[in-house]
Amino acid sequence: MSLLSRLSKGVGLFLLGTLAGQIACAAPAERVVSVGGSVTEIVYALGEGHRLVARDSTSSYPAEAEALPNIGYARALSPEGVLSVSPDLIIASAGAGPVETLDVLKQADIAYAEVPEVYSPAGVITKIETVAAALGAEDKAKALLGDIAPDLETAHAEAQARAGEAPVRVLFVLSTQGGRIMAGGRNTAADGIIRLSGGINAIDAFEGYKPMTDEAVSATAPDVILAMDRGGDHGVAMEQLASLPALIPTPAAQNGRLVRMDGQSLLGFGPRTADTIRTLSEAFYEAHAK
Amino acid sequence: MRLAAEATTQNRGQAQGRSTGAPVDRRHQARRLTLALVALLLVTSVSSLTFGAAGTSVWSAIGNLIAGRELSQLDRIILFDIRLPRLCLGILVGAALAVSGAVMQGLFRNPLADPGIVGVSAGAGLAAITAIVLGSMLPVSLRDTLGNGLVPVAAFFGGWGSTLILYRTATRGGQTSVATMLLAGIALGALAGALSGILVYMADDNQLRDLTFWGMGSLAGATWTKVLAALPVIALALCAAPFLARGLNGLALGEAAAGHIGIPVQRVKNIAIMAVAGATGAAVAVSGGIGFIGIVVPHLLRLATGPDHHPLLPNAALLGATLLLAADMIARVIIAPAELPIGIVTAVLGAPVFLWILLKRRAGLGL
């Protein structure tokens, strides 16, 4: 297909509302770029992965996605890089940018759908609906949500039941650069997944991810420490984390309660979130189960 | 300070040594170099319009135009809205950084001087970080007026503001002490760095990532608006070059000697400082942090044509522009369709070259 005919097809696509990301499709987009790990996951879960021509650097799941050209980091996209894969539709997580790049893409009449990030079951459903609407795959979304929506509810309810009256306090550790702990506060994906899995975020004092002093970390006295699994030797990494001075005095380190999980399934809020809730809930309350 | 003192003796030695040599030969050599650099810049500019992540090339576009075919909308956008403003911005920023470096080194009589040292870049950076982190607190009406220009405008005024503070600190009774200014610049840079640190702590996750990328510099966000914003300031600074060349040559003899041979020392210093503040502020504002151009380019040229600022300043503009365009091409092609921040490329290319120059100079001067 020539560039011109592809473009003329693209002209048929109109972006109705960027926030809602609703698109009226004259013809379905053939060359789709997905930006954001969970957006890519959803495109594949909808069975529309074959329409993708490129993805951003945060899209590492499923494995097929990694074979696609990488257009770079979601917040620092270059306009020519995106245009070079001649997309007719871009589906991106909220916060993709910069604005200059988005302006050029709009000028090139490339349809753009923004997918909101809300860290709740309703947020997952909205994301799936938004991506499906952009792809014109509403029927497939209905089928997928038929499985996912009740599954999320069940997983959440089970986690709540398991937590009962005494929910565990969970500290999310994003990174430990130079021995300093960067922890997850309110309004983060980590906070959202901890709550859904029946835990309490040990940090209530601030929003977002922030570095904390050792004393402040110790004072949060978490029962469980949650971290991302960056691959490599599992056991050693766990020991390293538990031997940080700030964590040694915490109940979590004393009892060896460290939970690690692949970052994308942990914080992605996508099709796998129900499974994530189940795994985390089991890990949080394994002592009770025994 | 020992370095500064050594450098002063070196420069003086060179200036005197060369003036007794063969000035006519040097002038010819410099003129040949200028012509070569103009040609090189032209070649790099055309390449910069030819290579990129997208397959579009300026040649096929020209071919189409000659054949009377219309350009496709995509080609038009890639050539005229992405590559051409990027080319113009690269030339402006590269020239501004290299000339600022050359002027600073002349003014401080220190081959290690760079706009980074007198805190101009740090001040501009602090203002930019403030805009990124606290921009959302501004009244909506002001934010709407400035729009995407908020960060660049802030960086520009940050550069100017820090230069003004610096200048006030170092000037007593109409006399600017270059040594005080150098020291004050280091202090100001440290303060700006610390204040930036506080803001980094306040920043949320997304802002932190923006800060990281901004600090590495990029021409990817080039727009005609940015080109038009940077053009008058940088052009004005470059226009001061002929006057500065004579003044800086004189200053190489030391301030007192320069005064005796009729150089308006104070005026030269004033203009040099304004030019550097304007050019650096504007460059940082539109492209973020791009290092090593300002320090490497003047050194390379001094190796070729000696310390005379008459050929040095215009040649620095040409070579700075060429090198930045080349670095930008590498940045956008090497991992296409993704793109490297250009500051990484200039550092990877610039740092070894700088080291090589130091070693070479060291041997040549018997240090």
Mean pLDDT of chain A: 87
- Among the partner-chain residues A70, A83, A85, the one whose CB lies closest to the CB of B78 is A83
A-B contacts (CB, under 8 Å): 96
A1 pLDDT exceeds 60? no
Residue B12 confidence (pLDDT): 46
More confident residue, B180 or A202: A202
Query: What is the percent of chain A with per-residue pLDDT over 90, rounded to a whole number?
Result: 68
| Set of chain A residues whose Cβ sits within 8 Å of the Cβ of B223 | 100, 103
Q: Do B337 and A4 touch (CB under 8 A)?
A: no
Q: Do B221 and A3 touch (CB under 8 A)?
A: no
CA nearest to A170, candidates A248, A242, A222, A215: A222
Find the closest chain A residue to B341 by CA distance: A76
- Among the partner-chain residues B201, B223, B337, the one whose CB lies closest to the CB of A54 is B337
Interface of B with A (CB under 8 A): 52-55, 72-74, 77-78, 81-83, 148, 201, 204-206, 209-210, 213, 218, 220-223, 332, 335-339, 341
| Residue B206 Cα, gap to closest chain A Cα (Å) | 8
Q: Do B82 and A75 touch (CB under 8 A)?
A: no
Q: Do A7 and B210 touch (CB under 8 A)?
A: no
Instruction: Locate A194 and state its tokens.
Output: 């901890």
| Residue A101 Cα, gap to closest chain B Cα (Å) | 7
Q: Do B77 and A69 touch (CB under 8 A)?
A: no
Instruction: Give the pLDDT band (50/70/90) at residue A87.
Output: very high
The tens-digit pLDDT sequence of chain B (367 residues) is: 444 444 444 444 444 444 445 566 777 888 899 999 999 999 999 999 998 888 777 888 888 888 888 888 888 899 999 999 999 999 999 999 999 999 988 988 877 778 777 788 888 888 888 887 887 777 777 766 666 677 777 887 888 788 888 878 887 877 778 788 888 888 998 998 899 888 887 787 778 888 888 888 889 889 898 898 889 889 999 999 889 999 999 998 888 899 999 999 989 988 998 888 888 888 988 888 888 899 899 989 998 888 899 999 999 999 999 999 999 999 999 998 899 999 899 989 888 988 887 787 776 555 4
- Among the partner-chain residues A57, A104, A211, the one whose CB lies closest to the CB of B338 is A57
Residue B309 confidence (pLDDT): 94
A81 pLDDT exceeds 60? yes
A212 pLDDT exceeds 60? yes
More confident residue, B163 or A274: A274
pLDDT digits (tens, 9 = 90+) for A5-49: 554 444 443 333 333 344 444 567 889 999 999 999 999 999 999
Residues in Cβ contact with B262 at an 8 Å cutoff, skipping those fewer than 6 apart: none
| Residue B303 Cα, gap to closest chain A Cα (Å) | 37
Class of domain B26-360: mainly alpha
Q: Do B81 and A107 touch (CB under 8 A)?
A: yes
ipTM at complex level: 0.78
Rounded CA gap, A164 and A175, in Å? 30
Residue A27 confidence (pLDDT): 65
| Set of chain B residues whose Cβ sits within 8 Å of the Cβ of A210 | 201
The full set of domains in chain A, from first to last, is: 3-155 (3.40.50.1980), 164-288 (3.40.50.1980)
Instruction: Give the pLDDT band (50/70/90) at residue A287.
Output: low
